[in-house]
Chain A
Amino acid sequence: MKMEKFLKSVFLFLLFSMVFYVSLLCLLGDNVLKKANLNFVYKVGSYGHMNTRLKEINDYENIDVLFLGSSHSYRGFDTRIFEKSNISSFNLGSSSQTPIQTEYLLNKYLDKLNPKVIVYEVYAGTFCFDGVESSVDLIANSKNDFETIKMAAKQNNITVYNTLLFGFYKQLLNSNDDFKEPIVKKEDTYIKGGFVQRKMEELNDTKSFPKTNKWQFNEKQFLAFQEILKLIKSKNIKLLLVQSPITSKLYNSYTNNNVFDVRINKFGNYYNFNKLMNLDDKKYFYDYDHLNQKGVELYNKEIIKVVQKNIVNYTNH
């Protein structure tokens, strides 16, 4: 009898707490919590134009190339350059996108886009991040569904859960439907197809990096990465793993780049353009991580060669 009372009380309290938690979160989400920057980050139209990209994706299907990855992808693969070479493409990169989010995006959009080739930008950093930043970006800017819940569960982070709860609430109210993201934000311009072009500038090289940095890999990301490979293989899509160039100064500050190369190389066709291209830091980058437009053009020429080879192979196949 006492046990029955205990279990009933616990059940009722949990129910009450859940309702209380969600209500308070929804009530305070738009003003207090957003400003306080706690375990809650909900920003529609955030850095990287993800909102526009995900709205635009509905116009695309049966493309030649799909680009995936972090900002190195959406700032590194200019869809216009590929178009000139008669390659239709879409850039589905997003800020700090880790394999957990890549898996989510593929589960959601792969069938519709149906690409011949996937160019997946595998920056070592994305295998080290927890992926929270990218998850909350996707939650705030995409339509949340069961796939989003799966992604949040994989992430297993309170910030992601809080943001997702609020995301569902906003979706229920349709309150983001009228949101229109500006195409130009400060130095960034969104280009049709998902690329974000930075106003041309050269690197102001003032920083120094200790030559003792080490990538601290997050094994959870490697597990998600393997799931991605399985999915792509099951759809019979050609996959190219590439690492976009970053400044040699930053790249060489990491002592275990080779460890990463060896691990990734096992998974398929992998091209590390930090080793394949020799780009001048000052001339071809606008910051230590990202190519400027001149750099993008040079880099994309190289990528096109690789992609064309693979599309030909695909067609013959």
Chain B
Amino acid sequence: MLFDSINFIFFLVIIFILYWFVTNKKLRNQNLLLHIASYFFYSCWDWRFLFLLVFSTFLDYFTGIKMYESKSEKAKKIWFWISISVNLGFLGVFKYFNFFASSFADALSNVGFSINTWSINIILPVGISFYTFHGLSYVIDIYKNRIQPERNFVDYSVFVSFFPLLVAGPIERATHLLPQIKKERVFNYTMAVDGLRQILWGIFKKIVIADNCAELANLIFNDSSNFSGSTLLIGALFFTFQIYCDFSGYSDIALGTARLFGIDLLRNFAFPYFSRDIAEFWRRWHISLSTWFRDYLYIPLGGSKGGLWMKIRNTIIIFLVSGFWHGANWTFIAWGTLNALYFMPLLLLNKNRNNIEIVAKGKSLPSAKDFFSIIMTFGLTVFAWIFFRSNTMAQAFEIISEIFSKSLFSIPQFEMHYSRRSIITASLLIFFITIEWIGREKEYALAGFGLNWSRPLRWTFYAFLIFIIGLFMNTIETPFIYFQF
């Protein structure tokens, strides 16, 4: 059940009615409803993997209590490592087994040994990376005595599997979400309206911008050897917007949906393409994952406390793991490495916290310096996305060498149909970037957009957005990119 499908709208309306009109008398019943709805939502993808989700949830719930009740440090440690190894074990088998098996065989064949490897046909359970990280943060927090374990299984399960965040995040923290689940929820008009507004913007981003960009990016990347440098560059640009609008669109729908149920989820994106340097970009891109890595990997590794070399080492580790988290392919690792390299000069010059506030705060336009910095950062990001999108490293290098050749200055080649589509998509991108720029000081672009207008004018704008969605949405259904992670 995709967020942008009719089925999801029906599902959401039914759960909303049951939540606020049938189970609203008791918090316990509301949470039970969210629990059942979330499991139903998940089983719509593949009910077989529901067992894995239940097992993983129960494991962390159980080990959390056991750790807390352990009389000795040793027992606590044992329960901790049981949880960590089983969680990472599942992730390893489902996500990385074939990668390691084939990489091992390749390495041996390079030194003259030939072995018969076998790969298993594994279907990646949707959302496994997300709910595993949920569980891990919970277990680590208990181990570090930051929180106490949750005793109510239903409440804990809602924390792990709350349907808006279940399959692609944001990656929540027990300290943020669990208290909201435990607290009585009263319907909040402003919050619900804001939720609907965010859903509308998320849908626009996903099915108008991301899906239209996807059609063109796929066309170019799937046949990259037959395109000129200029066309490949356009393909990379389309992919750059596709991945942002796909994932941040999904996050907007998730956050907006949660708001309808009186729950605030962690913000996941903060206009990353308006960043003035890579450090700022990483504070604004997939925030819930970046902060997860910061809190559960970077800081435990020593963070920035152990001197410059420690800082460099830990930063490289974080980016490599981040790349690897996206999938078992060298292209993701290259993407992570590249971002680490971009980050290094800022780290060495101690300039990684130069740009904290959003660009041109309180102004209409950025300064020339800011504008130049945004373009530079955006360019570096586009370059890195080429690795992320390519199927192999060889393809990525082939694309880059073509882009940096004379053919960059040739007229892009498209069939008539696609050249029309690319012009339409480019126009939509201009509209989208303008709205994002105007709304950049708020949590999401539409959050404050037109709030001081009269209601008819504001509604006309929203209705106009719906009209654009109806006319420009891509009818080829493209699954959310981050479902595969």
Contacts and interface: CB of A to CB of B under 8 A. Distances in A.
B219 interface: no
Interface stretch (A8-16, A85-93, A221-229, A308-316): A8-16
A157 interface: yes
A158 B6 CA distance: 12
Interface string A38-55: 111000000000000000
A60 interface: no
B2 to A, nearest CB: 14
B358 interface: no
Given A10-B196, A13-B459, A39-B473, A156 B6 contact: yes
A132 B475 contact: yes
A53 B462 CA distance: 42
Interface string B167-190: 000000000000000000001110
Interface stretch (B36-44, B97-105, B148-156, B463-471): B463-471
Interface in B429-485: 459-460, 462-464, 466-467, 470-473, 475
A20 B463 contact: yes
A21 B193 contact: no
Contact of B475 (A5, A13, A20, A158): A158
Contacts of B471: 33, 38-40, 162
B470 A3 contact: no
B470 A37 contact: no
Nearest to A1: B189
B472 A38 contact: yes
B282 interface: no
A146 interface: no
Contacts of A33: 471
Given A9-B193, A20-B463, A38-B424, A2 B187 contact: yes
Contact of B189 (A2, A20, A38): A2
Contacts of B188: 2
A33 B468 CA distance: 12
Nearest to A22: B467
A156 B9 CA distance: 15
Contact of B470 (A16, A132, A162): A162
Interface in A142-200: 156-159, 161-162
Contacts of B424: 36, 38
Given A13-B459, A20-B460, A6 B472 contact: no
Interface residues of A, number: 26
Nearest to B472: A38
A17 B189 contact: no
Contact of B187 (A3, A9, A16, A158): A3
Given A2-B189, A5-B189, A6-B193, A157 B475 contact: yes
Interface string A234-263: 000000000000000000000000000000
A24 B467 contact: yes
A10 B475 CA distance: 26
B383 interface: no
A38 B474 CA distance: 9
B330 interface: no
B420 interface: yes
A161 B471 CA distance: 10
Nearest to B460: A20
Contacts of A158: 470, 473, 475
B20 interface: yes
Contacts of B463: 13, 16-17, 20-21
Contacts of A6: 187, 189, 192-193
Contacts of A159: 475
B187 A37 contact: no
Contacts of B470: 21, 39, 158, 161-162
A201 B95 CA distance: 57
A132 B475 CA distance: 10
Contacts of A25: 467
A21 B467 CA distance: 6
Nearest to B192: A6
Contacts of A37: 420
Contacts of A24: 467
Interface of B: 6, 20, 187-189, 192-193, 196, 420, 424, 459-460, 462-464, 466-467, 470-473, 475
Given A3-B20, A161-B470, 19 more contacts: A3-B189, A6-B189, A6-B193, A16-B459, A16-B463, A17-B462, A17-B463, A20-B460, A20-B464, A21-B463, A21-B470, A36-B424, A39-B471, A39-B472, A39-B473, A39-B475, A157-B475, A158-B470, A158-B473
5 contacts: A2-B189, A13-B459, A20-B460, A25-B467, A158-B475
